[in-house]
């Protein structure tokens, strides 16, 4: 995909990025070798060729399988550094990074191993690339709520490094209400709240209504099915609850990028943002996702800049950083 100079240089904020979903096949081989793990493939190309997802569960199978090479703090550091290196030339300025602690603790890798590795990369990325970042800890919704609660309590010593909590993995049969007590406790502990409402999942609208009214999230990951209920669209527009949409990811797990829904929702006053979700699996980082919307949606550069500003608005960055990022985007557009 050819990235336009405007898209490439636009200062960007990423709010929906699973760090485990940035594991490129080349690094997978490197880590497998370092850790003495035999992969069921001979080359990175074979790994890529095996990615034929057509829904969320088929993607999740490959995603969890890929993580088995992540064992040490250095592995998590290398994973995150590879990500930062990839997006620095795309002018990524700030990222809130999802990580899935239970996908590691359930394999015997400690929370401390995961967090210290990621944290080291975050500090280095700030110095080396000028990219600011924060962590959002996601619970796996297909595991029991008790395990999520135990993970939440285990995370408390690391609170200064964790901005908020989210909910991901297989949504079908695992509604938000299952985690109401966990999210209430997370809020009481000072964590900010977000949750996945994946695209075109059975009962999606009910889950979206529940995350707004029952859980009280600050934003929703994906969530574009909300267009089916104009009353709910009005509620999130009024309350400034944003949606983190992932156009290229959508093409793999549903029937299209949902670019038209992004345009409709923006028109209705919703703060929608563009994000990459699991770029190593879906084949597009932040700039490719902006470009996809530019190409398919035939939108103006001004509209793309608005989406970048939406991400600043609904991000959980400190006010000073938000003001700086807004200034960078405004200045960029004025000079373009």
Kindly write down the DSSP assignment for every residue of 177-224, as one continuous string.
GGGHHHHHHHHHTT-EEEEEE-TT-TTHHHHHHHIIIII--SEEEE-G
What is the contact mask toward ligand ADE in residues 47 to 66, using x (rule: CB under 6 A)?
---------x------x---
Nearest to 193 by CA among 221, 212, 219, 171: 219
| Residue 278 in contact with ligand ADE, rule: CB under 6 A | yes
Number of residues forming the site for Zn ion (CB under 5 A): 1
User: Phi-psi bin for 169: left (phi > 0), alpha (psi -120 to 50), beta?
Assistant: left
Contact 276, 289 (CB under 8 A): yes
> Of these, 75, 78, 96, 168, which contacts ligand ADE (CB under 6 A)?
168
List of residues 6+ apart from 287 with CB closer than 8 A = 3, 7, 8, 12, 87, 90, 91
Closest CA to 246 of 16, 59, 60, 3: 16
Q: Which is nearer to ligand ADE, 143 or 303 (CB)?
A: 143
Residue 189: count of CB within 10 angstroms of its CB: 14
Closer to Zn ion by Cβ: residue 170 or 295: 170
From the list 277, 279, 287, 325, which residue makes contact with ligand ADE (rule: CB under 6 A)? 277
Binding to Zn ion by residue 96, rule CB under 5 A? Answer: no
Give least dist CB 100 to ligand ADE, A. Answer: 7
Q: State how far Cα 232 lies from the chain centre.
A: 23
Instruction: Indicate the residue among 201 and 299 with the shorter CB distance to ligand ADE.
Output: 201
By CB under 6 A, residue 198 contacts ligand ADE:
yes
CA neighbor of 259 nearest in space, from 289, 226, 301 = 289
Per partner kind, with CB cut-offs from 5 to 8 A, the member of Zn ion, ligand ADE, none near residue 24 is none
Nearest to 175 by CA among 157, 196, 154, 156: 196
Q: Which is nearer to Zn ion, 132 or 275 (CB)?
A: 275
Q: How far apart are CA 179 and CA 146, in angstroms?
A: 9
Give the integer Cα–Cα distance in Å for 27 and 136. Answer: 23
Q: Which does 77 bind (CB under 5 to 8 A by kind): Zn ion, ligand ADE, none?
A: none
DSSP secondary structure letters along 29-57: HHHHHHTT---S-SSHHHHHHT----SHH
Residue 75: contacted member of Zn ion, ligand ADE, none (CB under 5 to 8 Å, by partner type): none
198 contact choice in Zn ion, ligand ADE, none (CB below 5 to 8 Å, kind-dependent): ligand ADE
Q: Does 18 bind ligand ADE (CB under 6 A)?
A: yes
Q: For residues 96 and 278, which CB has a smaller minimum distance to ligand ADE in the complex?
A: 278
196 binds ligand ADE (CB under 6 A): yes
Which residues in the 263-282 window bind Zn ion by CB under 5 A? 277
Distances (CA, A) of 250 to 84, 130, 225, 275, 283: 23, 30, 12, 11, 12
> Which of residues 22, 169, 245, 291 is near ligand ADE by CB under 6 A?
169
Q: Select from 133, 139, 117 the least CA-distant residue to 15.
A: 133
100 close to 60: Cβ distance less than 8 angstroms:
no
Which residue sits closest to ligand ADE, CB atoms considered?
Answer: 168
User: Which residues, numbered 107-146, are part of the site for ligand ADE (CB under 6 A)?
Assistant: none
Nearer of residues 73 and 275 to Zn ion, judged by Cβ: 275
14 binds Zn ion (CB under 5 A): no
In the list ligand ADE, Zn ion, none, the entry touching 96 (Cβ below 5 to 8 angstroms by class) is none
Residues within the interface to Zn ion (CB under 5 A): 277
> Using CB under 6 A as the criterion, which residues of the chain lie in contact with ligand ADE when the complex forms?
18, 21, 56, 63, 168-169, 196, 198, 249, 277-278
């Amino acid at each position: 995909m050819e990235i336009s100079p405007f898209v490439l240089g636009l200062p960007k904020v990423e709010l929906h990025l699973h760090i485990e979903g940035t594991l490129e096949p080349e690094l997978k081989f490197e880590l497998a070798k370092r850790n003495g793990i035999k992969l069921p493939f001979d080359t990175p190309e074979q790994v890529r060729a095996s990615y034929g997802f057509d829904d969320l569960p088929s993607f999740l199978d490959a995603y969890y399988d890929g993580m088995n090479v992540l064992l040490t703090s250095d592995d998590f550091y290398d994973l995150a550094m590879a990500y930062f290196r990839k997006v620095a030339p795309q002018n990524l300025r700030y990222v809130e990074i999802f990580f899935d602690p239970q996908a590691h603790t359930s394999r015997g890798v400690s929370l401390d191993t995961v967090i210290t590795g990621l944290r080291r990369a975050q500090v280095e990325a700030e110095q080396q690339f000028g990219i600011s970042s924060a962590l959002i800890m996601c619970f796996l919704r297909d595991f029991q709520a008790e395990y999520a609660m135990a993970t939440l309590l285990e995370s408390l010593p690391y609170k200064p490094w964790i901005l908020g909590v989210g909910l991901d993995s297989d949504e079908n049969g695992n509604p938000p209400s299952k985690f109401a007590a966990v999210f209430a406790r997370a809020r009481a502990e000072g964590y900010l709240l977000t949750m996945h409402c994946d695209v075109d999942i059975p009962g999606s609208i009910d889950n979206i209504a529940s995350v707004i009214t029952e859980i009280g999230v600050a934003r929703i990951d994906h969530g574009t099915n909300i267009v089916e209920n104009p009353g709910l669209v009005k509620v999130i527009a009024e309350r400034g609850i944003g949606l983190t949409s992932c156009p290229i990811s959508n093409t793999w797990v549903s029937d299209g990028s949902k670019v038209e829904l992004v345009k409709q929702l923006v028109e209705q006053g919703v703060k929608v943002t563009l994000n990459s979700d699991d770029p190593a699996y879906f084949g597009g980082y932040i700039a490719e996702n902006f470009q996809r919307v530019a190409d398919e949606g035939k939108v103006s550069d001004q509209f793309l800049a608005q989406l970048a500003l939406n991400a600043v608005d609904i991000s959980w960055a400190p006010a000073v950083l938000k003001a700086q990022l807004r200034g960078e985007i405004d200045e960029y557009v004025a000079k373009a």
